[in-house]
């Protein structure tokens, strides 16, 4: 779609791209959502891809994902032995409602900052206890837990001119065992619910991440594996207004699916099923 209100595109932004931010600006990374719908309030685009942020940087303490890393690059990343959560990266990439063309341009940071309930990069990074590094226009830096970043449907904690620079996933999270469940109305459709359970290697804890069915991501943690009744009660305790409603499912439908799939995840991790 043509954006006929745009009067300027900044092709070579400064290393701190938010310094000249003003109302009517938008960050341009993959642009797959930006160009998919009318943007009548925008006047200027600032091209983050020109900064050439490194897409994926393994470190001794975990993994850093540049905000402009494409879904294609994330999917193709060669996971070293021992990082059992690597399979979750591929499953999250496959959860995109998109064509191969979108995979080649859509970015991890764009999906996070769009902050839709079904954003699979949100599911992935919340489940793996990530931190988001945010750059403010004044040059300051802050880190926000992935769990706390999205506050509602298409809402997050970003201030005007603030940009997501990178996502930092700790090493211990990459080594956790994982189990996931996802439901869609059609085989390649948008997620109605997307759940991830993780567990320490050799442990009996359970951390359940609930997304897509809720307006913001939820994390339900147990020091030891709960029984079915306790798990169900924890899901039933989620406030009614947190469950999401759209053409892909009603709140009651999503609550029902969450109960069902959470129990499957509990059983899989209890039985020592696939990591």
Looking at domain 51-172, does it have CATH number 3.30.465.10?
yes
List phi, psi (to 5°) of 79: -80, 125
What pLDDT sits at residue 101? Answer: 74
What pLDDT sits at residue 15? Answer: 85
273 vs 27: CA distance, rounded Å? 42
Level-2 CATH architecture, domain 176-270: 2-Layer Sandwich (3.30)
Domain limits, the chain = 8-50, 51-172, 176-270
List b or e across 97-117, with b for residues whose CB sees 16 or more CB atoms inside 10 angstroms: ebeeebbebbbbbbbbbbbbb
What pLDDT sits at residue 225? Answer: 95
pTM as predicted: 0.94
263 contact partners, CB below 8 Å, separation of at least 6: 228, 231, 232
- Domain pair 51-172 / 176-270, same fold: no
**Where are the alpha helices (H) located in the chain, listed in sequence order?**
71-76, 86-94, 100-105, 108-114, 120-127, 146-149, 171-174, 228-236, 251-270
Q: Are the C-beta atoms of 204 and 274 separated by less than 8 Å?
A: no
Instruction: Chunk the chain into consecutive blocks of 10 residues (it has 275) and report each block's average pLDDT, rounded to whole numbers.
Output: 86 85 92 88 93 95 96 90 84 82 89 96 97 95 98 96 97 95 88 97 95 98 97 98 96 98 96 61
What pLDDT sits at residue 73? Answer: 95
Tokens 């099923």, located at residue: 273
Q: What is the DSSP letter of 122?
A: H
What pLDDT sits at residue 273? Answer: 55
What pLDDT sits at residue 14? Answer: 85
């Amino acid at each position: 779609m043509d954006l006929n209100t745009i009067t300027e595109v900044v092709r070579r932004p400064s290393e701190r791209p938010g310094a000249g931010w003003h109302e009517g600006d938008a960050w341009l990374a993959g642009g797959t959502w930006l160009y998919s719908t009318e943007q009548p309030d925008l006047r200027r685009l600032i091209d983050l891809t020109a900064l050439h942020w490194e897409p994926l940087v393994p470190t001794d303490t975990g993994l850093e994902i540049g905000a402009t890393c494409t879904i294609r690059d994330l999917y193709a990343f060669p996971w070293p032995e021992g990082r059992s959560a690597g399979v979750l990266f591929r499953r999250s990439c496959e959860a995109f409602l998109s064509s191969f063309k979108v995979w080649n341009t859509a970015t991890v940071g764009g999906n996070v900052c769009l902050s839709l309930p079904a954003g699979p990069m949100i599911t992935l990074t919340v489940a793996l206890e990530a931190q988001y590094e945010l750059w403010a226009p004044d040059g300051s830096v802050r880190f926000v837990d992935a769990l706390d970043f999205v506050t509602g449907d298409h809402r997050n904690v970003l201030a005007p001119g603030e940009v997501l620079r990178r996502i930092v996933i700790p090493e211990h999270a990459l080594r956790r065992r994982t189990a996931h469940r996802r439901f869609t109305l059609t085989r390649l459709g948008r997620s109605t619910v997307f759940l991830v359970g993780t567990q320490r290697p050799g442990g009996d804890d359970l951390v359940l991440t609930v997304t897509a069915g809720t307006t913001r991501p939820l994390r339900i943690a147990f020091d030891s594996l709960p029984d079915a009744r306790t798990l169900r009660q924890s899901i039933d305790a989620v406030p009614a207004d947190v469950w999401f409603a759209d053409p892909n499912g009603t709140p009651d439908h999503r609550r029902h699916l969450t109960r069902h799939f959470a129990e499957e995840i509990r059983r899989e991790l209890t039985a020592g099923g696939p990591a």
